A and B are shown apart, each in its own frame.
Chain A
Amino acid sequence: MPREIALADALVPSILLVYLGCLLVLWVIDTIVGHYGLYRYVWHPSLFRVAVFFVLFSAVGLLLYP
């Protein structure tokens, strides 16, 4: 994966796209977890959401740029 990507002729770091994609995935996960009421197994839902986002983002980032 290239380090940078041209968005409307502006070169932006590709990790920005990863960031946006992870936000989308987090939103999907949040909806599913909320729908099945699984947040009752979680201590602080907002802390949990932030942590899940960091796990996703870092894992994808590290995988794409070995």
Chain B
Amino acid sequence: MKIQPQALLRFAITAAVVIVALLLGHALWRHYMYSPWTRDGRVRAEVVRVAPDVSGLVTKVPVIDNQEVKKGDVLFEIDPLRFRIALQQTEANLDAAKASARAAGANIDAVLASASARKAEYDMRQEQATRREQLAEVVPKEERTDAKSAAETARAIWQQAQASGHQANAAREQAEAAVVQAQVAVDRAKLDLERTEVRAPVDGYVTNLDVRVGDYAATGSPRLALIDRHSYYIYGYFEETKLPHLRVGDPVDIRLMSGGTHLKGRIIGVARGITDRDNPTGKDLLADVNPTFNWVRLAQRVPVRIAIDEASVPKDVVLAAGMTASIDVQPRRVLDKDEH
């Protein structure tokens, strides 16, 4: 049987088109499945939970909800009266401590003067005793012994006075330490008074303001959230199949769901761990693994942190933590090839 040229041509044309279709289809599939982009990006921001450092009644709240504040602005004020009184008391204590330090100083002078008097007395007695000892032929023994013991007594009194001097010294040091203590108490009272004004630790936006005049604010319990205005970033949840195609430092095109605004960004980190959802701990501390495993395997998604280029954010765009964004990574394959 002879193959007809036309039949061959028909087969060749069809086969060529089918092969091209398979190749292109495969390429598109790979591209669509593995190119690093995701529709699930979230705008996030760092939030400071502002809590007062001292407890007390709230007397003033000069900010309103969602207000923009600068670093150092007063957010709310706690009744300073009690802390002013405490400061006055510590100041009075400081004055008292200073006075007793001065008294201790004066006491030392007195004791030192008394010690020199005792020393002079001893010197005199000692000299007397020595003189009488030298005139042993004319001075009776009793008188000599008396003079000697008088000198001994004077010496003991002098030593006692010296010990009193040491004691007075120690008392003065104690009084000086008490002054330092009182000074520290004053500084602390001043700090407490200063901290009655709760100030913004960063530039940002007041959010969820939950404090009213008359509230009792307790130390350490957060009363409002302050969103750091310079801390906006994006978490892109990329499927694990796409991770090999992105690197830290890759430029990123961000498209916000609100208004379709395009922003520029850069990958600054890939999370190194997510929870294994197949392994919650069940009863008796045993693993609670799913009973079935299907043919279809779902790719896990790993958060990739993206820094937003602040200069690329249009002035009229409102960024809010929690907003949705699409993220398209532009891998630097060309650059990589140059490096290797």
Contacts and interface: CB of A to CB of B under 8 A. Distances in A.
B25 A58 contact: yes
A61 B32 contact: yes
Contacts of A59: 24
A40 B255 CA distance: 49
Contacts of B9: 41
A31 to B, nearest CB: 18
A15 B255 CA distance: 17
Contacts of B328: 3
Contact of A48 (B17, B22, B31, B260): B17
- The DSSP consensus for interface residues of chain A is helix
B289 interface: no
A42 B11 CA distance: 7
A2 B255 contact: yes
Interface string A43-54: 110011011111
A3 B294 CA distance: 30
Contact of A52 (B15, B21, B37, B255): B21
B27 A58 contact: yes
B271 interface: no
Contacts of A11: 39, 257
Contacts of B17: 48, 51-52, 55
Interface in A20-66: 40-44, 47-48, 50-55, 57-59, 61-62, 65
Contacts of A41: 6, 9-10, 13
Nearest to A60: B28
A7 to B, nearest CB: 14
B207 interface: no
Interface residues of B, number: 26
Contacts of B11: 43
Interface in B1-34: 6, 9-11, 13-15, 17-18, 20-22, 24-25, 27-28, 31-32
A59 B25 CA distance: 8
B31 A51 contact: no
B25 A54 contact: yes
Contacts, number: 68
A54 B13 contact: no
B231 interface: no
A21 to B, nearest CB: 15
Contact of B24 (A2, A42, A47, A55): A55
Q: Which of A3, A44, A59 is most buried by chain B, counting CB atoms within 10 A of its CB? A: A3
A51 B14 contact: yes
B21 A58 contact: yes
A4 B39 contact: yes
Contacts of A50: 21
B124 to A, nearest CB: 110
Closest 8 CB pairs of A and B: A58-B24, A54-B21, A51-B21, A43-B14, A58-B28, A51-B18, A51-B17, A43-B10
27 contacts: A2-B255, A2-B326, A3-B37, A3-B39, A3-B326, A11-B257, A41-B6, A41-B10, A42-B13, A42-B14, A43-B10, A47-B14, A48-B14, A48-B17, A50-B21, A51-B14, A51-B20, A51-B21, A54-B22, A58-B21, A58-B24, A58-B25, A61-B28, A61-B31, A62-B28, A65-B31, A65-B35
Given A43-B10, A62-B27, 17 more contacts: A3-B37, A11-B257, A15-B32, A41-B6, A41-B9, A41-B10, A48-B13, A51-B14, A51-B20, A54-B22, A54-B25, A55-B21, A58-B25, A58-B27, A62-B24, A62-B31, A65-B35
